[in-house]
Amino acid sequence: MTQSDAVEIWPGKAYPLGATYDGYGTNFSVYSEVAERVELCLFDADGTETRVTLPEVDAFVWHGLVPNVEPGQRYGYRIHGPYDPANGQRCNPNKLLVDPYAKAIDGQFQWDQSLFGYNFGDPDSRNDDDSAASMPKSVVINPYFDWAADRSPRHEYADTVIYEAHVKGLTQTHPDIPEQMRGTYAGVGHPAIIEHLKSLGVNAIELMPVHHFANDSTLIDKGLSNYWGYNTIGFFAPDGKYSSNTTPGGQVQEFKAMVRALHEADIEVILDVVYNHTAEGNHLGPTISFRGIDNSAYYRLVDDDARYYMDYTGTGNSLNVRNPHALQLIMDSLRYWVTEMHVDGFRFDLAATLAREFYDVDRLSSFFELVQQDPTVSQVKLIAEPWDVGPGGYQVGNFPPQWTEWNGKYRDTVRDYWRGEPSTLDEFASRLTGSADLYEHTGRRPVASINFITAHDGFTLRDLVSYNEKHNEANGEDNNDGESHNRSWNCGAEGPTDDPAVNELRARQQRNLLATLLLSQGVPMICHGDELGRTQQGNNNVYCQDNELSWIDWANADEELIEFTRHVGALRRAHPVFRRRRFFDGRPVRQRAAGGLPDIAWLRPDGTEMGDADWDSGFGKSVAVFINGNGIPDRDARGQRITDDSFLLCFNAHHEPIEFTLAASEFGERWEPVLYTADAVQTDGTKPIDAGQTLPVEARSILVLRAVPSS
């Protein structure tokens, strides 16, 4: 380590925060209200550290400009200030700290005593071991990139199909991706992945966390790792673990190239972001960034004992969204990813935590007010995971109007309906038509509902129909981790089986679930690999499994299921009646349709309209729904009213075949089958069927018919 007089430093500017290269030098800026002195630590390639004191402080922002510091320079901070855990302060200049605004981070944490502010076994002690050798380093990046003619696709929500994916899991085993690009941003932007997504009708990919995250020491000790990445420590930095470019800061250029390639293919990029907590954990966690910079500003502390952290996330801490500087960090991060990295939206992990200004969830909290007013962030897709683990944390349907939500009630209802649970028919109808009961009262539309049946957290689609119980033994927690109530059904055998009847039923159930998802009103989200029949062997919590268990197995993809998914996706894409922008009202649309037909009608299998007794019967599992293509209240970009064909969807979740009588001729005189989940392979050119005829619909299947226009 060399002393500060070895480096020339000028006053610089307080904003922007972080390290900003301008072609001549780099401005460094960091916020800390409690700091008494801040040292900037510059690291050479051999690890030699040079310390220089930041010379200026304005409004608690410490700053200085160092001439001739260029992109690729590794750095960190040391904060001189109070160490008083009982009063919420944990400054210690012996701990090298990651810049909260670092645009790139190089290296990984080496978990040893030096990272912790106390001595193991004595949490009330103070540890002064120097942590620099065990810490990753912040990196000055080159902000310049040739975006060419890049533009956001800006798909309307109603036209969006989301594909949730993990950068590594999606690409690690794909045979057409060069080996050095597998598991990376470059792999996601490879033509092989783009072609697959396009074939499904996907036009938005939602990437699981790519912000730089820490790999938990407890998992490393077990020979496992944090695969999912919900352990953020760098809210501006794309994680270098997913980059084939190994030069310091090279991951930024690779990420931008991925976004550019996806945009060229008309695919949006949505990031799963974790602003509710950080990787520093609770009072026994390491001191690696925020804790050592200004602990009480960045974290929610227990009011009557500031030694401890409020934990609404189950991870040890919660970001302090009551503090304006913590809020600024979140908003600056969001703006950066939109303006500099060109992403198109965000999915907010455990978003209810961001609404906890005090104790309860408040949908009008400062965070949501800032988003509402921000001219940049308010214009991209905003998706909430509308719950956390704190009291009152389940907030499905309660987020502000401009937000969409992962609809957990959709997931639960559709799973229950297809596994044959009683008394689900009426709620199934609500979820199929956009969940007006959840969203209409706040002025939102069907697109507020992000519909999903499976996601990264839980069973895959194939496992959902193959296992009654979770099988998480590989996680090393005696199968005690993960959700135990999965609303799954193994179709008669637990796990793999040679029984052809069970396997055929499982295949049909997967088709039922995918067809329901893609033909529901709202925004569908497919979990990566579900269309290929991906299995995790019954493990519903692969957060720590960075291996073949969690990666997509492209070599054993279910080609029939892929083709079926493409078929349903094409049906949705071709017909706006399945992606309406407004809720159904069920009333006659006399001005739009001859005969005053309603925009939607619910029918019993015998073709007559459903009555109250039919909805209330706990045993009912079969229903038909007429969707009127002339009853769409939407207009296109030129103001022209949108019309479409009409459809009849026959749902049979019963364990036996049901005879469906096609709707009376007022709904349509002739009907053409366009989708039947009882068949593994869909065929075109089926002869139209006259209204009033009776058709058998196989047990646990969907038949979709299109009204043939009168000649």
Assess if residue 229 is contained within a domain.
Answer: no
Assess if residue 213 is contained within a domain.
Answer: no
Count CA within 13 A, CB hemisphere, residue 424.
Answer: 24
Regarding whether 536 and 664 lie in a shared domain, the answer is no
Assess if residue 214 is contained within a domain.
Answer: no
**What 3-state class would DSSP assign to 297?**
helix
Q: Identify the active-site residue in 332, 385, 405, 558.
A: 385
pLDDT tens digit sequence for 599-610? 999 999 999 999
pLDDT tens digit sequence for 533-591? 999 999 999 999 999 999 999 999 999 999 999 999 999 999 999 999 999 998 776 44
Assess if residue 183 is contained within a domain.
Answer: no
Q: Which domain holds residue 386?
A: 321-406
Q: Nearest 5 degrees, angle CA 197-CA 200-CA 203?
A: 55
**Domain boundary residue, one of 285, 316, 347:** 316
pLDDT tens digit sequence for 224-283? 999 999 999 999 999 999 999 999 999 999 999 999 999 999 999 999 999 999 999 999
Catalytic residue status for 385: yes
On whether the CB atoms of residues 15 and 332 are closer than 8 A, the answer is: no
What pLDDT, on a 0 to 100 scale, did the predictor assign at position 594? Answer: 47
How does the average pLDDT of the chain come out, rounded? 94
**pLDDT surpasses 80 at 390:** no
Q: What is the largest CA-CA distance in the chain?
A: 92
Assess if residue 257 is contained within a domain.
Answer: no
Percent of the chain with pLDDT over 70: 97
Count CA within 13 A, CB hemisphere, residue 490.
Answer: 14
What pLDDT, on a 0 to 100 scale, did the predictor assign at position 23? Answer: 93
Distances (CA, A) of 443 to 362, 379, 439, 609: 18, 18, 7, 29
Regarding whether 436 and 376 lie in a shared domain, the answer is no
Regarding whether 695 and 558 lie in a shared domain, the answer is no
What pLDDT, on a 0 to 100 scale, did the predictor assign at position 5? Answer: 64
What pLDDT, on a 0 to 100 scale, did the predictor assign at position 591? Answer: 47
pLDDT tens digit sequence for 19-40? 999 999 999 999 999 999 999 9
pLDDT tens digit sequence for 331-360? 999 999 999 999 999 999 988 888 775 556
Regarding whether 528 and 632 lie in a shared domain, the answer is no
Q: What CATH number does residue 653 fall under?
A: 2.60.40.1180
**Domain boundary residue, one of 286, 316, 346:** 316
pTM above the 0.95 mark? yes
Sorting pLDDT into bands at 50, 70 and 90, what band is 617? confident
Q: Identify the active-site residue in 294, 349, 427, 644.
A: 349
Q: What CATH number does residue 47 fall under?
A: 2.60.40.10
Assess if residue 234 is contained within a domain.
Answer: no
Sorting pLDDT into bands at 50, 70 and 90, what band is 663? confident
The domain tally of the chain equals 4
Distance CA 254, CA 97 (A): 25
**pLDDT surpasses 70 at 595:** no
Sorting pLDDT into bands at 50, 70 and 90, what band is 694? very high
Q: Average pLDDT in the 315-340 region?
A: 95
Regarding whether 622 and 546 lie in a shared domain, the answer is no
Q: What CATH number does residue 566 fall under?
A: 3.20.20.80
Assess if residue 267 is contained within a domain.
Answer: no
Eight-class DSSP state of 118: S
Q: Average pLDDT in the 604-627 region?
A: 93
What pLDDT, on a 0 to 100 scale, did the predictor assign at position 2? Answer: 55
pLDDT tens digit sequence for 125-175? 999 999 999 999 999 999 999 999 999 999 999 999 999 999 999 999 999
Regarding whether 605 and 521 lie in a shared domain, the answer is no
**Domain boundary residue, one of 292, 316, 340:** 316
Single out the residue of 614, 603, 618, 620 nearest to residue 703, CA to CA: 603
Regarding whether 136 and 8 lie in a shared domain, the answer is yes
Regarding whether 438 and 418 lie in a shared domain, the answer is yes
Assess if residue 170 is contained within a domain.
Answer: no
Catalytic residue status for 349: yes
- Length of the chain measured in residues: 711
What pLDDT, on a 0 to 100 scale, did the predictor assign at position 635? Answer: 87
Regarding whether 558 and 420 lie in a shared domain, the answer is yes
Regarding whether 565 and 428 lie in a shared domain, the answer is yes
**pLDDT surpasses 90 at 695:** yes
Regarding whether 110 and 97 lie in a shared domain, the answer is yes
What pLDDT, on a 0 to 100 scale, did the predictor assign at position 592? Answer: 43
Regarding whether 446 and 393 lie in a shared domain, the answer is no
